[in-house]
Amino acid sequence: MPLKRTLQLLLTTELSNREIALKVGVSKTTVGRYRRLTSAKSVMWPDVSELPPSVLRQRFNRDPNGNKTRRVPDFAMLQERIENGVPLQILWEDYRREDPHNTLSYSQLATRMRAYRRTKPGSMVLTHTAGHEAFVDYAGCKRIPLPTYTDPSTGEKIAVQLFVGVLPASSLIFAICSPSQQVPDFIRSHVDMLAYFGGVPLAVVCDNLKSAVIKPGRRPVLQRTYEEFSRHYAVAINPARIFSPKDKAMVEGAVKIVQNHIVVRLHDRVHHSLDDLNADLANLLEDLNNRRMLTYGKSRRERFEQLERGTLNPLPVEPFVYAKCTSILRVPKDYHVRVDHHAYSVPHALTGQRVDARITDDRVDIFRETERVASHARSFERGGHTTDPDHLTGDHRAWHDRTPDAMIAWAKRAGPNVHAFIKKQLGKSHPVAALPACEEIKALAEKHGTEAVNRAAGDAMDLNVLSVSTLRRMIRKHTDQPTKPAVRRSRYTQGSKAFAKMAQEAAC
């Protein structure tokens, strides 16, 4: 404290102003001013030796404000209103409106607010429970650019996004590069992260990017696919508070570590694809996790194996597959819904109702509320349609089956002889012209059974007779159903029976 030390030397020694200035580190002009003040006020060392520095400055230094008084606001109240979203400019205008002449200027108020914030505790030491949560974030630093790979065809450098996750209890870090921060890449990065950890924590703490949170706040609304991901892995999603990076300070630190120890090295190497970049990143990541930490005397991998691996929940049997979801407001009358320029059938009973489509790389699933009502292999034929015969009405199914291919498929199921007989029928003339005969054979199979028709078709093929009438006679032969001769009634017989009936009614 230069002031107190200066007063002590002035009042207890015979040193000159220059000598005191050299010892204390102040100017000799200042020492001369203090000597004049102590002489004028007859100050002795015992009078000031016990006084605190603030009182000494008040007695021996001039007020920098020129003894002007300024009304000081309640900084605690101002800070509370700032945290509730009120700008400091608005608070200063209200404060100045009350007393325009005795208030602090805006710059003075801002300076004192910054000084007030420095006196308040700003962070808290948190204890992280093993297996309780994982923190995720994307890297973004102007000082260190994002990783890139070179397109071999054009030579262009393509920037990618760096996804980072960390288990705070063991500090195990995961990192992977993805083309973007869009929902598909965001979800795939999470799936790869949990596979790398070999288990699932109870919760994932993420930022409020649109791929994760549609509506932030105290009751955040998660993005639909992200919510499906959380249900698949039975993990809770806890978005951090807005503008509160300290809520996920562990991953903020992990991002800096990855940038300083991995990204810097990646910039010195040439990669020709995203897969090459991620393969190189994976090797550097293993070196980072296996490196011994000075704080704990162990590596991140060792701490993970000892503390956290056994506390994670097991992974599900199948990993989560990203799916794009779309809604169809009304099923049209042909009960085929259009998804990505291709039409897929749904049960005809859903005509006029709302359904949702879930689209993966190889399948399209249609849901009515939460029930899956249709599932098709995904087709990329633009303008085409995919139909499940089970979805058709009775009339439409009959017409759907009235094709040469459908007849051959049915004949294969009916038996080898029926299959050969049908192929002969379709080969006699144009296949469409042979459809009526094929339908008649199918009707015989429904009436007498496929076994009887199959035996009869074999006999007909042995005789090299391909007519349907011959096949019908063969079936009657095998089923032992002799035909009854048709009774031809004469007009006289019919009239006699009618007359007899009238007579009997009259007698009654």
What does the pLDDT look like over 59-76, one tens digit per residue? 887 765 555 566 788 888
Average of pLDDT values for 23-48?
Answer: 87
What angle (nearest 5°) sits at the alpha carbon of residue 172, between those of residues 229 and 279?
A: 75
Q: How confident is the model at residue 282 (pLDDT cuts 50, 70, 90)?
A: very high
Handedness of CA 428, 430, 433, 438 (dihedral sign): positive
pLDDT given at position 281: 93
CA distances from 302 to 27, 261, 426 (A): 59, 19, 73
- Residue pair 91/82 in contact (Cβ under 8 Å)? The answer is yes
Structure confidence by residue, pLDDT tens digits, 133-145: 899 999 876 667 8
- Looking at residue 388, its amino acid is D
pLDDT at 494 over 50: no
**Which helix (H) or strand (E) segment is 371 a member of?**
strand 371-377
Beta bridge partners of 344: 337, 386
CA distances from 215 to 63, 220, 238, 242 (A): 52, 5, 13, 11
pLDDT given at position 361: 80
Tokens encoding 391: 């979805």
Q: How confident is the model at residue 244 (pLDDT cuts 50, 70, 90)?
A: low
- Residue pair 241/247 in contact (Cβ under 8 Å)? The answer is yes
Question: How much of the chain is helix, strand and coil, in % rounded to 5?
Answer: 50, 15, 35
Least confident stretch, 16-20, 163-167, 308-312, 436-440: 436-440
- Residue pair 201/312 in contact (Cβ under 8 Å)? The answer is yes
pLDDT given at position 405: 74
- Residue pair 366/374 in contact (Cβ under 8 Å)? The answer is yes
- Residue pair 439/424 in contact (Cβ under 8 Å)? The answer is no
Number of helices and strands in the chain (H, E): 21, 16
pLDDT at 257 over 80: yes
pLDDT given at position 401: 58
Portion of the chain with pLDDT greater than 90, in percent: 18
pLDDT given at position 429: 64
Average of pLDDT values for 200-224?
Answer: 88
What angle (nearest 5°) sits at the alpha carbon of residue 66, between those of residues 63 and 70?
A: 90
Please name the residues in contact with 198: beta carbons below 8 A apart, sequence gap of 6 or more.
Answer: 309, 312, 315
Portion of the chain with pLDDT greater than 70, in percent: 86
Please name the residues in contact with 88: beta carbons below 8 A apart, sequence gap of 6 or more.
Answer: 78, 82, 106, 109, 110, 113
Structure confidence by residue, pLDDT tens digits, 312-333: 999 999 898 888 888 888 988 8
- Residue pair 6/24 in contact (Cβ under 8 Å)? The answer is yes
pLDDT at 117 over 60: yes
Average of pLDDT values for 240-264?
Answer: 80
pLDDT given at position 42: 86
pLDDT at 234 over 50: yes
Q: How confident is the model at residue 14 (pLDDT cuts 50, 70, 90)?
A: confident
If you average pLDDT over each of 66-70, 102-106, 110-114, which comes out highest? 110-114
Average of pLDDT values for 398-420?
Answer: 76
pLDDT at 381 over 50: yes
pLDDT given at position 483: 46
Average of pLDDT values for 293-308?
Answer: 89
Comparing 127 with 353, the larger pLDDT belongs to 353
Average of pLDDT values for 440-464?
Answer: 81
Neighbours of 35 (CB within 10 A): 17
Please name the residues in contact with 131: beta carbons below 8 A apart, sequence gap of 6 or more.
Answer: 169, 199, 201, 202, 308, 310, 311, 312, 313
Structure confidence by residue, pLDDT tens digits, 145-198: 888 998 888 888 889 999 999 998 899 999 999 999 999 899 999 999 999 999
CA 147 to chain CA mean position, Å: 22
Neighbours of 507 (CB within 10 A): 6
Neighbours of 143 (CB within 10 A): 6
